[in-house]
Structure 1
Amino acid sequence: MSVRVGAARLRALVLTLVSFFVIAGTATGCATGDGDRPRIVVTTNILGDITRQIAGDEADVSVLMKPNADPHSFGLSAVQAAELESADLVVYNGLGLEENVLRHVEAARTSGVATFAAGEAADPLTFHTGADGGPGEETARAPDPHFWTDPDRVRTAAGLIADRIVEHVDGVDEKAVRGNAERYDGQLADLTAWMEKSFAAVPEDRRALVTNHHVFGYLADRFGLRVIGAVIPSGTTLASPSSSDLRSLTQAMRKAHVRTVFADSSQPTRLAEVLRQEVGGDVDVVALYSESLTEKGEGAGTYLDMMRANTTAMAEGLSAD
């Protein structure tokens, strides 16, 4: 009797185990299916938003840089670095922006992953970095990575991102991707027209910009503003100003009658505050969302939100008495 009971229990145990493995196998199959979805990895959150607008539901888009981060200084975890090498496509800014990430992008490219440097394809400008030698020597020039402050260049980059997705990401619906790109291009064109109208209201003698570091050169070039200088004469927040840099900028601000400094919201405004002390206490410091998006609902959750918020703040700051 005990033998028959033991056999019955054994059969029940076997059935339970079989059922478990069938269910587990089904779950694993679903997970594998999700893992087979096309995947795009983007370094910065600004490019991440733009890429998501174009990819839509056709691919999973993973963004490495978190909201409110500094693109010049953010780094990757080991898991994020591995993501780059398993992606179908990597979209990054380039031109030296993601200083701690570019070696990982290069490693992914070496391993055979398709990569696209959006900034390098957007007709980059250069900026003066300040004198490297003695008096009379020419200032050095470096590529400006902040192309996204010109929405027309973003239109160019967005179209090229669509091309790369269609070319390198297997399994996407080309018609859907092209449709997303066309819709977003229309939104960018509307943004450009609105920015033109906003800056046109700024008096000619007020169209002078001073920022934390060189970040709005493309915007100034596109909308007819003058860049008087930057607290840090560099395209990166990792640099520091010298006393001669501050003295030169102070003199330029006085000559141009500039009393407003625009500072990046992704970093402290300490350097701009130092300049305020150099020029005088009546200098206004206006915060902008220049290099990073915020969390949703915090002012710059998307690229379009960021540009509209910045344009409003700049136009009002430049026009203020």
Structure 2
Amino acid sequence: MTARRPGGRGRALAGLLVAAALALAGCTATTDDRPRVVVSTNVLGDVVGELVGDQAEVMTLMKPDADPHSFQVSAQEAARLRSSDLVVSNGLGLEEGLQRHLDAAAADGVRTFVAGDVVEVLDHATGDAAGTPDPHLWTDPARMLDVVDALQPVLAGLDGVDPEQLAARTAAYRGRLEALDAEMVAAFAAIPADRRALVTNHHVFGYLAQRFDFRVVGAVVPSGTTLAAPSSSDLADLVTAVREAGVPVVFAESSSPDRLARALAREAGVQVRVVELYTESLTAADGGAPTYLDMMRANTERIADGLSS
């Protein structure tokens, strides 16, 4: 008995199945052979992405609008962190919910870069955290320039990264940081000296205050972390300080509830506005601070407007 040969329709169907199988096999076999850089916070993730471009896979662990003091990662993300080519973190106690995973990656021999190791670190001057390192270094663009300068040779050492392309992107981003710094100097210069005082949700502006000559009157949460909570005596002391300083604005972090700041405004017995800032986290693309430069410009405008009016 002679076997029937497939007709035109059968041959076409068989061809489609073979093509689909080959395409599927190709997709399965294809992998991203770029170096993987895992970054803890979204502020640093944005900066790393600006420097390296598409020469590396940049995986940022902290989601938009999250709190760097408390965010967690999945088991899959932790595994990718420990198998990465480079881990970039802030350090100085900022990543409280992530530190054990960062330590595990370092113990496994993963190359690490800690921003807090390459800048002049300030200690918290007041509150429960007094005398401990302040991790909020990104509020000073001059210190972020130090981070960029130290990060460039580390990124250049990754296999697959073109040092010349990296140098060009780094130079361009440095120019944008320098322009930001100049804009902040000009904007803050217009604030009267007797109004250059800051009250926030927690102690976050030590670096900005030093760089741009502000006084930090206090914080609703007298700590360097949003995980702390104020006592009634803390609030009473801060109310007194607010009254004496004549502060017209309390600045509340966008990733933290501002009910305590509003309670302070009521308790102070004076006209105190609550203004939201982006100090701990970037936002989603449709938010007010999708990049580090956007965040700093938005905060500069709100601080200058709030303290000048």
TM-score by length of 2: 0.92
Q: Deviations over 1:194-225 (max 9, x none)?
A: 10000000000000001000001100100011
SS in 2 for 1:235: coil
Distance 1:277 1:17, change over 3 A: closer
Deviation readout 1:10-40 (Å, 9 max, x if unpaired): xx999999777654443333x23x2x11111
SS in 2 for 1:170: coil
Question: Which residue of 186, 194, 199 corresponds with 1:210?
Answer: 199
Report SS of the residue matched to 1:119: helix
Correspondence for 2:306: 317
> Does the alignment pair 1:152 with 2:142?
yes
> Do residues 27 (structure 1) and 27 (structure 2) align?
yes
1:26 is matched by which residue type in structure 2? G
Give the 3-state SS of the residue equivalent to 2:124 in structure 1.
strand
**Structure 1's 306 and 15: CA in aligned 2 closer, same or farther, altered over 3 A?**
closer
Partner of 2:8: none
5+ residue gaps, structure 2, are 6-10
Determine the C-alpha separation between the residues in 2 that align with 1:163 and 1:50: 15
Is 1:98 the counterpart of 2:95? The answer is: yes
- Among 300, 304, 307, which residue is 2:289 paired with? 300
User: Could you tell me which of 98, 105, 109 is aligned with 1:108?
Assistant: 105
Question: Cα deviations across residues 215-253 of structure 1 (Å, max 9, x unaligned)?
Answer: 011001000111011111111000000111111111111
Contact 1:44 1:92 in 2 (8 A): yes
1:233 matched residue in structure 2 = 222
RMSD, aligned CA: 2.2
C-alpha distance in 1, partners of 2:183/2:22? 58
Matched, 1:72 2:61: no
Q: Show structure 1 runs of 5+ residues with no match.
A: 7-11, 132-138
Please show how residues 3-82 of structure 1 align to structure 2 within 5 Å. Answer: 4-5=3-4, 22-29=22-29, 31-32=30-31, 34=32, 36-82=33-79
Aligned CA distance change for structure 1 residues 129 and 24 (closer, same or farther; 3 Å): same
**In 1, distance between residues paired with 2:175 and 2:76?**
36
Letter in 2 for 1:236: T
The percent of aligned pairs where both chains have the same amino acid is 54
**Structure 1 SS opposite 2:198:** strand
TM-fit CA distance, 1:74:
0.7
How far apart in 1 are the matches of 2:257 and 2:14? 64
Cα separation, partners in 2 of 1:201 and 1:129, compared to 1, 3 Å:
closer
Given candidates 163, 180, 183, the residue that maps to 1:174 is 163
How far does the alpha carbon of each residue in 1:159-191 deviate from its partner, in whole angstroms, 9 at most, with x for none? 112121112x21110111111111100000000
Question: Counterparts of 1:55 and 1:15 in 2: how far apart (Å)?
Answer: 42
Contact kept in structure 2, 1:129 and 1:142, CA below 8 Å = no
Check whether the contact 2:248–2:306 (CA below 8 A) recurs between aligned residues. Answer: no
State the aligned residue count: 305
Deviations 1:47-68 (A, max 9, x none): 1101100011211111111111
Shift of 1:120: 2.9
